[in-house]
Amino acid sequence: MKQGVLAESGTWVARYQVRQNFNKYWYYKLQVPIPYFQCTTSDKLSKYKHLGKAGTQEHIDAVMSVFRRSLCDEIQSIIHTLDDCLLDISSGSEQESEEPLD
């Protein structure tokens, strides 16, 4: 869990279907909201990175990198919340007086 690539923020793994000769095939791709991945056929950037079938090493690595990113984002959110709490405690602002309601 500690080792491996950390996905870019906002990255997810998407499943898509390809139909061919009355058969359905499911594949996976790593996707981002803005172009990030280098295209293999040109110098352009793409929003997608093909991962292949479920269970391939590339698919598993991508899922784990997105999982690591989600854990990292959640930990950062917790740290931010704890920092805010520490500031409130140290400044005494958690004990704000309220105006009486009539």
Contact 16, 24 (CB under 8 A): no
Quote the distance between the C-alpha of residue 79 and its chain's center. Answer: 18
6, part of any domain: no
- How far is the C-alpha of 51 from the C-alpha of 60, rounded, in Å? 9
pLDDT tens track for 49-69: 999 999 999 999 999 999 999
Mean pLDDT computed over 69-98: 83
Q: In the 8-state DSSP scheme, what is residue 8?
A: P
Q: Report how far apart, in Å, the C-alpha atoms of 40 and of each of 2, 49, 66, 98 are.
A: 29, 10, 22, 62
- The model's pTM: 0.74
28, part of any domain: yes
26, part of any domain: yes
CA count, 13 A, side-chain hemisphere, 4: 18
31, part of any domain: yes
Res 73 pLDDT > 90:
yes
41, part of any domain: yes
Res 93 pLDDT > 80:
no
Res 94 pLDDT > 90:
no
67, part of any domain: yes
Domain that holds residue 48: 12-91
60, part of any domain: yes
3, part of any domain: no
Mean pLDDT computed over 2-30: 91
Q: Provide the percentage of residues in the chain whose pLDDT is more than 90.
A: 63
Bridge partners of 27, per DSSP, are 16
Res 41 pLDDT > 90:
no
- How far is the C-alpha of 17 from the C-alpha of 53, rounded, in Å? 11
State how many domains the chain has: 1
